[in-house]
Structure 1
Amino acid sequence: MERLNPPRDRPIDPAAFREIVGRFASGITVVATLGDDGQPAGLACQSFASLSLDPPLIMLCVGKSSTSWPRIEAIGRFAVSILAEEHRDTCAALGRSGPDKFAAIDWNTSPHGTVHIEGALAIVDCALEAVHEAGDHLVVTGRVRALAARDDGSPLLYFRSAYAAGAF
């Protein structure tokens, strides 16, 4: 294995950093809510994790350049839909910019006013807890308000800059 520790005064190459952290397989989620205009606002997100059991908190990371996040943040609530392997098209649609990203996506509105992706492996409904700046991203924490899950299915994974399906 190539030595990974460069001299302390040498900056980390962004392309090398992306390639190395891309070796960590992650699930893919959709973070979404219903806007004041009655239209869904959402984004694809692979940086998601549980944070605390007491109180129940989750965290996710959103790029500062996201045009969807400001709409979600302004509402103050969101759902995280954990995608199944059959959601590749959903992820692709929500991963790009554009006016009607939800046009070809099956979704419904929760009792909390958030957007749930149909067929998701699990749903975590949250109230916005805090937002912290961290480099070119925002670290978002959400207080869990409701949970739901289906009993079958395999996750949609992301590994080395490509989709992967995990049979579990």
Structure 2
Amino acid sequence: MSAPQQNGHSPIDAVELRRAFGTFVTGVTVVTTWDGEGAPRGMTANSFTSVSLDPPLLLVCIGRHAASFPAFSTSTAFAVNLLHEAQTDVSSLFASKSPDKFGAISHDTVHTGAPVLTDCMTWFDCTVHDRVEAGDHMVLIGRVQAFGTSASAPLGFCRGRYAAVKDPLPAGWSPSHSMVVGYLIEHDGRILLRADGHGGWGLPTARRRRAEHAVDLDDVGALPLLSDSTFLYAVFDVGDSDPGYIIYRGRLEDAAPAAALPPDLRFFAPEDLPFEAIPVREIRSMLRRYLRERSSDRFGIYIDSSDGGRVAMIDGDARPWQASDA
């Protein structure tokens, strides 16, 4: 302990203070957002905590000297990704000055459009609730719009090094609280994909499907789908990671404004689908199944399992459901 000065204040040694703060065991997060040019930005941080359940708030502290500070100081949304014990390499990557941190990291969008790491332990997708200036850091307070978690063991950090945490999931806890809802949409013989911001492609996502067969794509608005072609198509996890995927298939109505979509959404002819640029293996496999099934106009519903999954084929034309069918 430092001796008090004559004015009653103790001299603070910044190095020793940092070491003292470091004795508090924390998890490790990667905080992500988009910069003003549409590029994904992210950094490793362990100054994270929950703030409130009603409204659902959390906070993370962003250092002013961080390369991605300008992006976090102006963005309207961000995600906090809690890493699991096998992700020390991800922690080191996002703590580095690498110019391409997202190149080999699978990520997706869920609600706000902020990049969510698909292989993390827990994620929180947030809109910015407030920013508070605090010394050499900015306290970024987020309102949680969506989240998901898994049974993975967390990556811990203490005294300047990684730490192991045992028994991460007590009995009775749910291993997952959310799924990514994606859409396999066809129009005029072409399939709709969405750019992920770093050269890759994936399916467009949405929070929900309307009962009248319109889908609210993230940041796009409602697109009308043909009612007789809109069905559940696949349910699967990505390895053992969270979030999982629920995929619907559908066809855009002929009168829908396909040409007015934003530039990150693009229709591809089947022979031009960029399989090599789709980072999620399960999405690639699902698209190949869809191409096979569309050739005979006979589609199935897939659910994963330990031995490779099950497909149930849908036979016959769609018909309206009546209460008498119950």
TM-score after normalising by structure 1: 0.90
Q: 1:72 to 1:10 in 2, by over 3 A?
A: closer
Q: Does 1:85 align with 2:85?
A: yes
Q: Which moved more, 1:31-40 or 1:152-161?
A: 31-40
- The Cα shift of 1:38 comes to 4.1
Residues paired across the two proteins, number? 164
Alignment of 1:98-109 (within 5 A): 98-109=98-109
Question: Which 5+ residue runs of structure 2 have no aligned equivalent?
Answer: 168-326
- The Cα shift of 1:33 comes to 2.1
When Rg is computed on C-alpha atoms for both structures, the one with the higher figure is 2
Structure 1: distance between partners of 2:75 and 2:10: 42
- The Cα shift of 1:36 comes to 5.1
- The Cα shift of 1:162 comes to 0.4
- The Cα shift of 1:98 comes to 3.2
- Identity of counterpart residues, as a percentage? 37
- The Cα shift of 1:112 comes to 2.1
Structure 2: distance between partners of 1:43 and 1:80: 10
Does structure 1 conserve the Cα–Cα contact (< 8 Å) formed by 2:63 and 2:136? Answer: yes
Alignment of 1:51-130 (within 5 A): 51-130=51-130
Does structure 2 conserve the Cα–Cα contact (< 8 Å) formed by 1:43 and 1:69? Answer: no
**How big is each residue's C-alpha offset from its partner over 1:120-167, in whole Å with a ceiling of 9 and x where there is no partner?**
1111111011111111111111111111111x2110111000011212
CA RMSD between the two structures: 1.6
Structure 1: distance between partners of 2:156 and 2:28: 6
Structure 1: distance between partners of 2:58 and 2:99: 28
- The Cα shift of 1:49 comes to 0.5
**How big is each residue's C-alpha offset from its partner over 1:15-60, in whole Å with a ceiling of 9 and x where there is no partner?**
1111111110100111112445443111111000000111111011
Structure 1: distance between partners of 2:144 and 2:29: 15
Aligned to 1:164: 163
Question: Secondary structure of 2:87's match?
Answer: helix
Q: Does 1:6 align with 2:3?
A: yes
Structure 1: distance between partners of 2:144 and 2:11: 38
Does structure 1 conserve the Cα–Cα contact (< 8 Å) formed by 2:111 and 2:145? Answer: no
Q: Does 1:155 align with 2:154?
A: yes
- The Cα shift of 1:12 comes to 0.8
Structure 2: distance between partners of 1:69 and 1:125: 18
Letter in 2 for 1:160: R
**How big is each residue's C-alpha offset from its partner over 1:87-136, in whole Å with a ceiling of 9 and x where there is no partner?**
11111010122321222322223242111112211111110111111111
Q: Does 1:26 align with 2:26?
A: yes
Aligned to 1:142: 142
Q: Which moved more, 1:72-81 or 1:58-67?
A: 72-81
Structure 2: distance between partners of 1:16 and 1:108: 40
Structure 2: distance between partners of 1:12 and 1:49: 25
**How big is each residue's C-alpha offset from its partner over 1:56-105, in whole Å with a ceiling of 9 and x where there is no partner?**
11011111111213213323101111110111111101012232122232
Question: Secondary structure of 2:24's match?
Answer: coil
Does structure 1 conserve the Cα–Cα contact (< 8 Å) formed by 2:50 and 2:57? Answer: yes
Question: Secondary structure of 2:86's match?
Answer: helix
Question: Secondary structure of 1:85's match?
Answer: coil
Structure 2: distance between partners of 1:118 and 1:138: 26
Does structure 2 conserve the Cα–Cα contact (< 8 Å) formed by 1:33 and 1:72? Answer: yes
Question: Which 5+ residue runs of structure 1 have no aligned equivalent?
Answer: none
Structure 2: distance between partners of 1:18 and 1:34: 30
Letter in 2 for 1:153: S
Structure 2: distance between partners of 1:75 and 1:62: 13
Structure 2: distance between partners of 1:72 and 1:10: 34
